[in-house]
């Protein structure tokens, strides 16, 4: 059966959902509002169904439109990736792997890994995907990203995890803080602190779940700062403290820009994993990339 819609219809649906109004979507697509309206009517006529309802100047997807939008987004993304790959083939690139880190935008280690990986697989280009904070698994599942590096992955159908390395949550403090010389702190030690966090969501296996809740405690004030590097700069300047992973803070701790202490006498451990789709089995670029990432991190940890 021949598809009833073409790429222009799919781009139209994605643009309207992104922009909210036909006028703004028309500007994004470089067409007139009347041409876009004609494209909407044509798509609805070909499918014999209503895709949008009008609310003032804005357009909202109907249930049928939402289904089509989800498919359109994936198809457009896949087409863009194929076009990019074809462009890169002339440079010896055969595959593109899209990679991102959940929650932590810590890439201090990445140049060393990419240099090592490029020697092993010069046919694979690695693109870094940003703006996936707090939803890395969804980004992998719906093919916006191929491999995500994240900590404490909860089970999710259709995804697999490959262990990279073990890590630890720490109390991150301004240099010279009164608690910086302590071997460890309990939750009660931080109840008078102003704490900075990148998310108010209670993430399984993180500080709320393993540190605050068991002690039935909370900080004096909890402020949300969505970027890790912003949290770092604010802690350095004495605007508060934070609970972050040792790995992500390594460069700052090594140079004395930040101080740290363990959480509880036993410490709070967590692991980092490479998350990819179940469908990416051995021999696929994503699986090879994740395996290489695991191998590289294992060798790096053995040296330290």
pLDDT tens digits, residue range 50-60? 988 887 778 88
Would residue 71 count as lying in a domain?
yes
Rg over alpha carbons for the chain, rounded to the nearest Å, is: 24
At residue 173 the predicted structure's pLDDT band, cuts being 50, 70 and 90, is very high
Task: Kindly state the average pLDDT of the residues 1-5.
Answer: 74
Residues 176 and 40 in one domain: no
Task: Kindly state the average pLDDT of the residues 179-184.
Answer: 94
Give Dmax over CA atoms of the chain in angstroms.
71
Residues 36 and 71 in one domain: yes
Assess whether pLDDT exceeds 70 at residue 90: no
Residues 173 and 259 in one domain: yes
Residues 171 and 152 in one domain: no
Residues 55 and 97 in one domain: no
Residues 112 and 240 in one domain: no
Would residue 98 count as lying in a domain?
yes
Which residues are CB-neighbours of 151 under 8 A, at least 6 positions away? Answer: 102, 103, 167, 205, 206, 245, 270, 271, 272, 273
Would residue 1 count as lying in a domain?
no
Out of 31, 58, 78, pick the residue that ends a domain.
78
Out of 21, 43, 78, pick the residue that ends a domain.
78
Tally of structural domains, the chain: 3
Q: What is the bridge-based pairing of β-strands 184-185 and 259-263?
A: parallel
CATH at residue 53: 1.10.10.10
Assess whether pLDDT exceeds 60 at residue 133: no
Residues 174 and 297 in one domain: no
- Using a 10 angstrom Cβ sphere, with 0-12 exposed, 13-18 middle and 19 or more buried, the burial of residue 130 is exposed
Residues 104 and 74 in one domain: no
Residues 170 and 257 in one domain: yes
- Boundaries of domain holding 51: 7-78
Task: Kindly state the average pLDDT of the residues 185-211.
Answer: 79
Residues 50 and 18 in one domain: yes
CATH at residue 251: 3.40.190.10
| Cα 65 to chain centroid, rounded | 27
Percent of the chain with pLDDT over 90: 39
Phi, psi of 88 (to 5 degrees): -80, -15
Residues 149 and 193 in one domain: no
pLDDT of amino acid 12: 85
Would residue 83 count as lying in a domain?
no
Task: Kindly state the average pLDDT of the residues 134-162.
Answer: 84
Would residue 281 count as lying in a domain?
yes
At residue 91 the predicted structure's pLDDT band, cuts being 50, 70 and 90, is low
Low-confidence winner among 207-211, 278-282, 297-301 (lowest mean pLDDT): 207-211
**Which spans in the chain are helix H?**
7-19, 22-29, 33-47, 63-89, 110-120, 136-141, 207, 228-236, 246-254, 285-303
Would residue 84 count as lying in a domain?
no
Task: Kindly state the average pLDDT of the residues 102-127.
Answer: 87
Task: Kindly state the average pLDDT of the residues 255-271.
Answer: 93
């Amino acid at each position: 059966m021949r598809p009833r819609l073409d790429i222009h219809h799919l781009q139209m649906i994605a643009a309207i959902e992104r922009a909210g109004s036909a006028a703004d979507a028309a500007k994004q697509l470089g067409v007139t509002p009347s041409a876009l309206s004609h494209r909407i009517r044509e798509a609805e006529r070909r499918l014999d169904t209503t895709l949008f309802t009008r609310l003032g100047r804005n357009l909202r997807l109907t249930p049928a439109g939402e289904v089509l939008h989800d498919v359109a987004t994936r198809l457009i993304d896949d087409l863009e990736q194929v076009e990019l790959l074809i462009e890169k083939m002339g440079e010896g690139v055969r595959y593109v792997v899209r990679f991102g880190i959940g929650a932590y935008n810590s890439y201090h280690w990445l140049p060393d890994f990419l240099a090592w990986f490029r020697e092993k697989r010069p046919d694979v280009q690695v693109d870094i995907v940003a703006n996936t904070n707090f939803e890395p698994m969804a980004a992998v599942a719906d093919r916006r990203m191929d491999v995500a590096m994240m900590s404490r992955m909860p089970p999710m159908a259709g995804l697999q995890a490959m262990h990279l390395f073990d890590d630890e949550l720490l109390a991150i403090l301004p240099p010279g803080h009164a608690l910086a010389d302590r071997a460890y702190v309990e939750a009660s030690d931080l109840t008078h602190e102003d704490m900075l966090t990148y998310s108010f969501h209670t993430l399984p296996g993180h500080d709320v779940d393993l540190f605050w809740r068991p002690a039935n405690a909370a900080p004096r004030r909890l402020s949300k700062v969505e970027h890790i590097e912003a949290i770092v700069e604010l802690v350095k300047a004495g605007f508060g403290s934070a609970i972050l992973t040792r790995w992500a803070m390594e460069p700052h701790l090594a140079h004395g820009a930040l101080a740290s202490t363990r959480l509880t006498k036993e410490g709070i451990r967590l692991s980092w994993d490479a998350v990819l789709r179940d469908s990416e089995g051995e021999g696929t670029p994503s699986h090879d990339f994740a395996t290489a990432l695991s191998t590289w991190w294992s060798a790096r940890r053995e040296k330290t």
